[in-house]
Copies of this chain bind each other. A is one copy, B any other.
Amino acid sequence: MAINELFGQELRAVNLGNAGFAAELEGLGVQVTHLDWEPPGRGQVELIAALEQLSHRPDIDAANKEAFDRYASSIPLLVDIGRAVDVIPGMTLDTILHAGPPLTWGRMSGPMRGAIIGALLYEGRAATPEEAEALAASGAITFSPCHEHGAVGPMAGIIAPSMPVFIIHNQTHGNDSYCTLNEGLGKVLRYGAYSSEVIDRLKWMENVLAPGLKKALSLAGGIDLRALIAQALHMGDELHNRNKAATSLFIRNIAPYLVQAGLPDAELAEILKFINSNDHFFLNLSMPACKAMLDAAHGVKGSTMVTTMARNGTEFGIRVSGLADRWFTAPALMVKGLYFPGYSEADANPDIGDSAITETGGIGGFAMAAAIAIVQFVGGAPRDALAYTTRMYEITLKENPSFSIPILDFRGTPSGVDVRKVIESNILPQINTGIAHREPGVGQVGAGLVNPPWDCFAGAVLALADVYGRNCRSMGI
C-alpha cells in the first residue's frame, strides 16, 4: 500500500498500555484494539538503566549457564534421617529455624508465632503457651531462616533442635539439604497449631515414624528424588500442592524396606497408614530436593538466576545466585484462592512458607500444566493451568531436561528464574500455595495462587547492576 492510500482508509487504532488513550479514541468513534502492555521495569528509569547494564552480556550468560547446569545436573538422593541439632550446620539447642527471610519475634505473623510456641512446648522449654511466648520474646532463642542452613520448611517452616529431618544428599555436587517430615492435614504445627494433639503427633513422629523410616532408608540405600519427581509429573502432580502420585510412589518404594527393617507389626502398620493418609507427605521431599539442586547453583559470580523464593508470613524474600546471601524482601501478598467451608480471605494470613522453593526449582506453579486436576484445589480452569506454565517460559533460563510435561509435547518445565527477564517483561513467577489462618492455633483455611512482590526482583536487578554492571567489570566475572 502506498502511504498516500493510508489516509483514504478508515482509521483503526491499536493502543498499547495506557487504557485512557483507548477510551478517548473510542469516544470519537474510532475503532480501537487495546493491548495490556507495560514498559520494561514498569517504566522506572533507574531500572531500565540497570537492565541496560546487564543485557547483551556474554559473561552473565556464561555465569547463568553454569548456575543452570549445576542445578539441572543435580541428583538429590534421600539418604537418611537425623536429629536436626545433630545434622543441620549452625544449629544449636537454642536455635529455631523458620521459613522465609530473617525475622524477629516482634514482627512475626500469627501462624509463625503459633508454630514457635508449639516448638518450645515440644522441646520441653515451656510448660504453657504463655511461658513459651515469654521465652520466645526474651532473646534467649535464636531465630534463623531455614534457607541459611541448607534447610527448608513448608508454611511456618519451624525446625526445632529435637525434630527429625530428612537428609538429602546432592550426589552430583556433594551438598546436603534438610526438611522435617510432613505432619498431615488439619491442625498441624506448620500452620501454627500447637494443641496437645499437635505435640503428641510430633512426638510419635520423633519416636516411631522417623526411626522406622531411618531403618528402611538404610536398607534402601538412597532414593533418587529427581526420578520420583519426573515420574510424578507424568502422573498429575506438580509437587507443591499436588503430591498424590509422588507420595504413592514413595510408599511403593519404601514399603518393602520398611517390612525388612524388622519393626514391630503394630508400628509398621501405623507408619504405613500415617503416610497413606496424607497425600502431601512427599511435599517435604520435593522441597528439599529442589533446595539441594538450587543450593548447588547458588554463589556463581555474575549469575542472575534466582536460587531462593521464600516467605516468612510477613515478608517475601528472594536470593540470587550471583549475589551471595543477600535477601531482597518486600511485604508478603495475600493469596487468591478457594477457602475451606466457613472461611474467607478475612481469615487468611499473607503468603507464608519455604514451599516456593518448588517454583524456584521449576515445578509447583511452574508445572501446573502437568497437574490439571489441581485447579479443583487452588481454583481456576484447566486452560489457566496450561497458561501459568506457558507464561513461565518467558522469565526462565531454560527447560529442565529431567522434568517434562506430557501435554506440552513433553517439553521440559520452565526452570531457573532470571531476575532480568522478570523485570523486562513485568511477568512475576507463578506460585500456588496453601493458605494459613492469620491467628495462631487454627491451621489451613484454603489454597490458591499468589505472586511474589515485584519489588524483590526490582531490588535484585538494581543490586546486580551495582555489582556486575558494565561499569563494574573490575568485579572479575
Contacts and interface: CB of A to CB of B under 8 A. Distances in A.
B255 A245 contact: no
Nearest to A251: B252
B372 A407 contact: yes
A276 B248 contact: no
A373 B235 CA distance: 8
A262 interface: yes
Interface stretch (A37-45, A267-275, A461-469): A267-275
A260 B270 CA distance: 10
A409 interface: yes
B407 A407 contact: yes
A249 interface: yes
Q: Among A234, A255, A262, A268, which residue has the most Cβ atoms of chain B within 10 A?
A: A255
Given A235-B373, A251-B255, 17 more contacts: A231-B244, A235-B235, A235-B236, A245-B245, A248-B248, A248-B251, A252-B276, A255-B272, A255-B276, A256-B272, A259-B259, A259-B265, A260-B265, A262-B265, A382-B406, A382-B408, A407-B407
A381 interface: yes
Contact of A234 (B236, B248, B406): B236
A244 B235 contact: yes
Which size bracket describes the interface of A in this complex? 35 or more
A196 interface: no
Q: Among A249, A252, A260, A373, which residue has the most Cβ atoms of chain B within 10 A?
A: A252
Nearest to A237: B235
A278 to B, nearest CB: 11
A54 B271 CA distance: 59
A376 B409 CA distance: 11
Contacts of A236: 234-236, 245, 406
State the 9 A-B residue pairs at the shortest beta-carbon distance, nearest first.
A248-B248, A372-B406, A234-B373, A235-B236, A256-B272, A373-B406, A259-B269, A235-B235, A256-B273
A253 interface: yes
Contacts of A244: 231, 235
A399 to B, nearest CB: 16
Contacts of A410: 376, 382
A245 B235 contact: yes
Interface string A130-168: 000000000000000000000000000000000000000
Interface string A345-378: 0000000000000000000000000001101100
Contacts of A409: 381-382
Contacts of A273: 256
